[in-house]
Structure 1
Amino acid sequence: MARDRYRDRLATLRTDVVLFGELVVERYESAVAAAANGDLRAADRIVSGDSEINRRYLELEGDCIDLIARNQPVAGDLRLITASFKILTDLERIADLATNLAERTEYGSEVHPAVDLGSLGLAAGEMVAAAVDAYENDDRAACRAVAADDDTLDSDCAAATQRIIRELLAERAGDDERVRTADTTTRGLLTVRDIERVGDHAVNIAARTLYMLDSDDELLY
């Protein structure tokens, strides 16, 4: 009977991590849309909801610790719990990056026009969603596909950064215009950096899933 409860708790943990991942992806995609559209109300909702994300993260982290402490799992079960623990951390950090985007939207400066926020931001969100699906479904091929997609995202982020810098160097304007340009340039560079980091966290999730399934550290380093 106790063993049945343990198996149920493992299954529940996995389901809860997936649901948390879906919530984080939803928040991130909302933050991208708010930033692209200058939607201050949506941005404020995302910022104010960060404490709830943190609370849920700590609850699930506690579940992982409790499972290890009470049951002393080995082999595959231990890999599932430790992978879940690591994945939760990556998801919480993605939620923090969503909050960063929303806070910059609240600040009011527009995203630099060299950044295709809709395309770039949502590509990273799709990677996170794919990584969470891979964790849910034991999908090894999807884990490797997320890592491959990250190469494209990195290239696109580098290209956006180069466009921002080129436009900054070419700028010829008065004092007021230079202040506005500095604001949009800073926001653009920070936004690109954060989107790239979202992609990195998606790869981390895929890497931990692959290790959970096969003790395969191919994507960890």
Structure 2
Amino acid sequence: MPRDEYQAELIDLREDVLAMSETVAERLEMGLTALETNDEELAQEVIDGDDDINQLYLELEGQCTDLIALQQPVAGDLRFIAASFKIITDLERIADLATNLGEYAIAADNDVFPSVDIQRLGDITLDMLADSMEAYAEEDRELCYAVNERDDDLDAECEIASDTVVRELIEGGEIGDDEIETFMEDVSRFLLTIRDLERVGDHTVNIAARALYMIDNNDELIY
């Protein structure tokens, strides 16, 4: 393969990974909106769209594999391709978590803990995802560290939210025997929503860590 064509394929790979991230961010935002508005149609759209994300992942995996197998890249190019492969894996998993939000939105009867701002947690994860992908696109090492540091704040916010749910559950009023099973299912889904948003944050840190490795051959944030 001529050098110019090879470089064009590297550029295409970066653009395709960024396009995948935009699609995943859109699905995550849709899942959050479905939760907030109890929009079952929107929630189902997120669920049904997961196959498209999986197919996109497989196509990009093939691009990465072909570049490594056919071009035998070294140094910076190899780190870029390897980082891209790891990043699309994290993006696919974020999409899976967005699908979970769609499923929770369909199953939930109501917002049992209005004092917990799920949308705020979701907005934090969306910002972290955008920043981690910008770090990858612009090769911004400082942004990689910023995403990693922000994850500590998200973890703290999620812990507070979970503690609030448990406290309000303990302090709550009487619930009839005929309501307890449905109520506890809603509580479980609420806690799973918080956990899944925390996991989205973890995946954005993984993306930032791989971007830093790509930029500087620095594995400091990889764990």
Task: Give TM class, smaller chain.
Answer: over 0.9
In the other structure, the counterpart of 1:7 is 7
CA deviations over 1:157-200 (Å, ceiling 9, x no partner):
00010011111222332213322320221011100000000000
AA at the equivalent of 1:91 = L
Q: Distance in 2 between matches of 1:111 and 1:57?
A: 33
Deviation at 1:117, TM superposition (A): 1.2
Q: Distance in 2 between matches of 1:65 and 1:115?
A: 43
Listed as ranges, the gaps of 5+ residues in structure 1 are: none
Aligned with 1:211 (options 209, 213, 221): 213
SS state of the match for residue 147, structure 2?
helix
Contact 1:111 1:187 (C-alpha < 8 Å) held by counterparts: no
SS state of the match for residue 184, structure 1?
helix
1:140 lines up with 2:109 in the alignment: no
SS state of the match for residue 109, structure 1?
coil
AA at the equivalent of 1:169 = I
In the other structure, the counterpart of 1:196 is 198
Q: Distance in 1 between matches of 2:29 and 2:178?
A: 33
SS state of the match for residue 220, structure 1?
coil
Q: Distance in 2 between matches of 1:99 and 1:25?
A: 12
Q: Distance in 2 between matches of 1:31 and 1:133?
A: 22
Q: Distance in 1 between matches of 2:32 and 2:123?
A: 7
Contact 2:144 2:211 (C-alpha < 8 Å) held by counterparts: yes
Aligned with 2:184 (options 162, 182, 190): 182
Deviation at 1:12, TM superposition (A): 0.5
Q: How does 1:1-221 map to 2 (within 5 A)?
A: 2-113=2-113, 114-171=115-172, 172-221=174-223
AA at the equivalent of 2:109 = S
How many pairs are equivalent? 221
AA at the equivalent of 1:146 = V
Question: What percent identity do the matched residue pairs reach?
Answer: 51
Q: Distance in 2 between matches of 1:144 and 1:132?
A: 13
Contact 1:109 1:183 (C-alpha < 8 Å) held by counterparts: no
AA at the equivalent of 2:138 = N
Cα RMSD for the two superposed structures? 1.2
Deviation at 1:111, TM superposition (A): 4.1
Deviant stretches of 4+, over 3 Å: none
CA deviations over 1:109-139 (Å, ceiling 9, x no partner):
3344143111011111110111011100111
Of 77-86 and 26-35, the range deviating more from structure 2: 26-35
Aligned pair in 2 of structure 1 residues 181, 59: CA closer, same or farther (>3 Å)? Answer: same
Deviation at 1:104, TM superposition (A): 1.2
